[in-house]
Amino acid sequence: MERTFIAVKPDGVQRGLIGEIIKRFETRGFRLVASKFMKASEDFMKTHYLDLKDMPFYAGLCKYMSSGPVFAMVWEGQNIVKLVRMMLGETNPADSKPGSIRGDLCINIGRNIIHGSDTLENAKREVGLWFKAEEFVEYTPCTQPFLYE
Ligand code: DAT
Ligand code: MG
């Protein structure tokens, strides 16, 4: 089982899309293991997006991501990092296919409503950055034998 970090961005929160986004991961069969509604600081977002520090949009991105609340989550499932990235669509909603979250729910690259870790290595780093050990909820989901052979 893998875990990945997902966040509904300030635009997704303001547009009332938290429920729609959670629904997609729930109905796919993934398991929610941690979540919180919070406002991140600009410095925290600079750490989160450190890989992009040389990009021209880095400063604006970090400022925007700390401008309002985000809904941060950790989800678990087989091959989840790759599958969630496919469910998100492309970084630019204009290139995202209908049926994907960005392809269905947003228009502009700077307002693409959702973050999802892009690799297993980054997923581990982001999960550790956003959540403490005691924030994970342990439980046995009753659906496991009907989702996995
Ligand atoms: P993703 O969020 O698909 O992993 P990324 O990690 O390359 O994409 O970039 C992080 C965010 O930065 C992205 O969701 C939106 C913003 N962004 C990326 N490229 C951009 C660009 N060319 N102009 C403006 N914002 C951009
Ligand atoms: Mg990324």
Per-residue pLDDT tens digits for 96-132 = 999 999 999 999 999 999 999 999 999 999 999 999 9
Residue indicated by tokens 């502009």: 108
| Structure-block tokens of residue 77 | 């499932």
Residues that are catalytic: 115
- Going 112 to 10 to 20 to 80, the CA torsion angle's sign is positive
Structure confidence by residue, pLDDT tens digits, 22-48: 999 999 999 999 999 999 999 999 999
Structure confidence by residue, pLDDT tens digits, 57-82: 999 999 999 999 999 999 999 999 99
Instruction: Confirm or reject: Cβ of 120 under 6 Å from ligand 1.
Output: no
Ligand in closest contact with the CA of 59: 1
Identify the pLDDT of residue 74: 98
Identify the pLDDT of residue 144: 93
Assessment of whether the complete model's pTM goes beyond 0.95: yes
Q: Residues lining ligand 2 (ion), CB within 5 A?
A: 118
Could you give the strand order of the β-sheet that contains 70-77, starting from the edge strand earlier in sequence?
31-38, 70-77, 2-8, 114-116
Identify the pLDDT of residue 30: 98
Give the Å distance between the CA of 106 and the centre of ligand 1. 14
Identify the pLDDT of residue 116: 98
Identify the pLDDT of residue 71: 99
Identify the pLDDT of residue 105: 98
Per-residue burial over 15-40, b = 16 or more CB atoms within 10 Å of its CB, e = otherwise: eebbeebbebbeeebbbbbbbeeeeb
| Single-letter residue type at 4 | T
Cα 126 to Cα 34, 44, 80, 97, 147: the distances in Å are: 13, 11, 14, 26, 26
Identify the pLDDT of residue 137: 93
Residue 63 marked in a binding site = no
Cα 140 to Cα 74, 77, 144: the distances in Å are: 16, 13, 8
Mean pLDDT of 90-98: 98
Identify the pLDDT of residue 14: 98
Give the Å distance between the CA of 73 and the centre of ligand 2. 15
State the pairing for strand pair 70-77/114-116.
unpaired
- Going 118 to 121 to 124 to 130, the CA torsion angle's sign is negative
